[in-house]
Amino acid sequence: MKKLLMPLGALAVLHAAPALADPFPGADLQAGRELHAENCVACHARQFGGDDGSDIYTRFERRITTADGLAQQITACTTQLNLALFPEDELNIAGYLNTHYYKFK
């Protein structure tokens, strides 16, 4: 049986990788920003204030506390509002929101 030897530097990178993982890999942040502006801002501004609806993301009592929760909430909004968004659109919005507001790892 052969032993697999790995340089210490590579081992450290592999060990640290999960901590740096992107919860929304492949998200197109620019597309997410545009989709958010087209589909989310007006409703959020009406319900939570702020010119761009961002108060929903920065309020103290926000409900979203995990990356999975964010993805589920976007899907719930898409369904409830009957938006014609594809799963990749939701991924892009999630990636945008995570990058700008939530910072989930």
pTM, two decimal places: 0.78
Q: Residue 51: its pLDDT value, please?
A: 74
> Averaged over 32-41, what is the pLDDT?
96
> Averaged over 57-84, what is the pLDDT?
93
Q: What confidence category does residue 54 fall into, taking pLDDT thresholds of 50, 70 and 90?
A: confident
- Of 62 and 46, the structure prediction assigns the larger pLDDT to 46
Residue 47 has pLDDT above 60, yes or no: yes
Supply the angle between the helices 67-80 and 87-97 in degrees, to the nearest 10. Answer: 130
3-class SS string, 39-99? HCHHHHHHHHCCCCCCHHHHCCCCCCCCHHHHHHHHHHHHHHCCCCCCHHHHHHHHHHHHH
